[in-house]
Structure 1
């Protein structure tokens, strides 16, 4: 696929992810007010999503909420969610009809919350508009890329796909005639996570890339002869 729009996409992605500020310290009343509205509940890679509308109205079970019709099919545990509440100073709880937690979220970056379900993994709760803007940016990451050394020498080509490899990652394919170091790494999966493009091999090796001011992705930690990812 072409790199059309990548010059716009990467700054937008940076603004959404890299530029996110750390979670703020705040009281429960302020957090409750800020949570009113539409949120996206998702797996970490957004392969499965559910729109949750948090309301200020009270009910016998807690504060009212609405789940979009497809939530239970996408995320089966949501069928148990009947209400929401703030616990302590900073825990956003989605709870069942008895008031027991289905999943608890804490803010890890401004407007981005993480929650863990034992045996399932981590789930993300973030503002719906921001999540959809990020998804649009991520979708435009799909396609052909070149790995380039700092002096502009192309050492490998690869294709990022939106085909799920597992719950959190997508498939990536190397093209023929790659540099031996890249061929030995042999990435098979990728994902975007907190401002980084992450490539992973079947052996468990991981390379991290961060977007820079030139709308390109540099491997971190940086080196005197940097490895850069560029859209083709």
Structure 2
């Protein structure tokens, strides 16, 4: 291999390494602060404070005392670090991953623990704002068609029904299509209301510009949820 080719490859490697270092530094800077670590629908939560000070093979963090009860795996977390371009790692004292997170939306990270499921890491203020939004969902709702004709009434509750889900009560005299679907659980997930049937089928609703929730994907005869 010629000297010039070796030199060119060395420059490329240096540029790549520099770019990676800059990306890691930027992500690390963005992560310093308070975060909420939770199950997907926040039925179990704890506050994690990520710091910039070095700690062993990573950086310091603090877990609120309730973490070990709410999320037992957190007892193994001793530090945090940034790996690759976009992985935020909560690690044990040896540097091994307890859980790795990647950003799925602005300020929202997802991590998977085999045999347990998906966990969410998000900015604490944003998480508490989401909790307030969820509280606002609780109560009586009407389902209407696009022409405004009411076809069903239901109640979203804050009564837990299985992991991360809550009970739904459908009132009598609903449209046959809704009665057949027969939602029994709901949750708020990434800005959508998710209704679930006993059989495990799901309907998703997104808020529109008119402060109402439309079933997605949209159809020529939309199904809309309105707060009563």
Do both share a fold (TM > 0.5)? yes
1: CA distance, partners of 2:219 / 2:57: 55
**Where do 1:116-135 residues align within 5 Å?**
116-135=112-131
Deviation at 1:150, TM superposition (A): 1.3
- 1:190 aligned to which of 186, 191, 202: 186
SS at match of 1:63: strand
Residue 109 of structure 1 pairs with residue 105 of structure 2: yes
2: CA distance, partners of 1:46 / 1:190: 13
SS at match of 2:174: coil
Q: What is the root-mean-square deviation in Å for CA atoms of aligned residues?
A: 1.0
SS at match of 1:78: helix
Deviation at 1:61, TM superposition (A): 4.1
Corresponding residue for residue 151 of structure 2: 155
Residue 139 of structure 1 pairs with residue 132 of structure 2: no
SS at match of 1:162: strand
Higher helix share: 2
SS at match of 1:140: helix
2: CA distance, partners of 1:45 / 1:77: 18
More displaced stretch, 189-198 vs 41-50: 189-198
- 1:42/1:48 contact within 8 Å kept: yes
Higher normalized contact order (CA 8 Å, seq sep 6+, divided by chain length): 1
Residue 58 of structure 1 pairs with residue 57 of structure 2: no
Deviation at 1:42, TM superposition (A): 0.4
Corresponding residue for residue 170 of structure 1: 166
Question: Scaled by the length of structure 2, what TM-score is found?
Answer: 0.88
SS at match of 1:151: coil
2: CA distance, partners of 1:222 / 1:57: 49
Deviation at 1:168, TM superposition (A): 2.4
Runs (4+) of structure 1 exceeding 6 A deviation are: none
Residue 32 of structure 1 pairs with residue 51 of structure 2: no
- 1:61/1:96 contact within 8 Å kept: no
Deviation per residue, 1:16-36 (Å, 9 max, x gap): xxxxxxxxxx81110000000
Corresponding residue for residue 74 of structure 1: 70
2: CA distance, partners of 1:117 / 1:103: 6
**Where do 1:203-214 residues align within 5 Å?**
203-214=199-210
1: CA distance, partners of 2:217 / 2:53: 48
Structure 2, unpaired ranges of 5+: 1-21
2: CA distance, partners of 1:140 / 1:194: 15
Deviation per residue, 1:98-128 (Å, 9 max, x gap): 1111000000111100000000000000000
